[in-house]
Structure 1
């Protein structure tokens, strides 16, 4: 535990050091799990001193949160940036396809990483609360980016949340095949049809 105030890096070299710590933490957390990883190991893997780690992070939990936020940002930020640059009004089908593809790629390419994050959210309230707030931020950004005069703004946040949640479910099924009797192509078509209908109607 670090009782000293942490600093936010401004200079390029400091930013690179912090990023190395975040990446090293992510690799170790995914390899060994949160409880079997310590800050000394993270510092060594990042090529910095333990004191340097504590100049940027209060404790191991802070490193964990920063590491997995960095991981999620690598998938979610490009989606938000793409939506912001798409011609307005944003096409509903493009939004749905992009969300579904994003979560499929996220789960299929990073099974171990999303598994580790899921386990820690169940066992550590601080981590769960942080990533619940993180999801709220992403959801708000999606709603803001989805500028379409043909779609009612009424209950748009709730509709976007359903798209987010169903995309997550589809991604999990692609990666882990929890239900062997589910046809993933059919499931995708049904999700698309349902969300398209929701965006088109007044509730």
Structure 2
């Protein structure tokens, strides 16, 4: 089946069916890993036939990328919501403290998913390209949301990208590395301080 044969569902029932397939794939990729999961297992987990799966997806990797999008958009959706709901006067230090907690929690809840996606981003060109586009889109969206709050530092795009990298690295420290000699409370404070200083220039 070629890409031209893939249907984009329009009816509610079909949309729900595609969502079930993505969620089933996400669950199995987390539990078993990408290479130990096949399309038939995903279909069974979703409660549909293998043929139905191929109505909506070209192959297993297509499902994986949809699962990555499902995970990533869930994480950033909460971030955007929090940024839009910020009240004036804005306390950037308190806001960053809350946002970092959201990211750490997201990494903790979906630890296996994050590990699998990170590994695939290093070995698969399509997954790597998706993450690249996702990072750039997220950076741009955050810059726009900041501008709406009159936070307009010089080189905003570069600074937001650096800030995202610092927070992502902190999440990995908390969830995966757990260096015994590190005080993560202090590390969090230093990250927040660095970002606040950077955004103030």
The normalised TM-score by structure 1 is 0.91
Shift in Å, 1:200? 0.7
Q: Show the counterpart of 1:31.
A: 31
1:160–1:191 distance in 2 versus 1, CA, 3 Å? same
Which residue pairs with 2:196 in the alignment? 196
Gaps of 5+ in 1: none
Q: How many correspondences in the alignment?
A: 199
Q: Look up the match of 1:9.
A: 9
Aligned to 2:149: 148
Runs of 4 or more, structure 1, over 3 Å off, are: 87-91
Q: Structure 2: which 5+ runs fail to align?
A: none
Paired with 2:95 and 2:53, the residues of 1 have a C-alpha distance of 39
Using the TM superposition, give the Cα deviation of residue 139 of structure 1 relative to its aligned residue in structure 2, in angstroms: 1.4
Q: Tell me the distance in 1 between the aligned counterparts of 2:25 and 2:155.
A: 39
- Residue equivalent to 2:78: 78
TM-score w.r.t. length of structure 2: 0.91
CA RMSD of aligned residues (A): 1.7
Shift of 1:105: 0.7
Query: Can you list the C-alpha shifts for 1:80-127, whole angstroms capped at 9, x where unaligned?
Result: 122123336754234422331122112222211111111111111111
Structure 1 residue 96 and structure 2 residue 70: aligned?
no
Cα distance, 1:17 vs structure 2? 0.2
Residue of structure 2 equivalent to 1:137: 137
Distance in structure 1 (CA, Å) of the matches to 2:180 and 2:143: 34
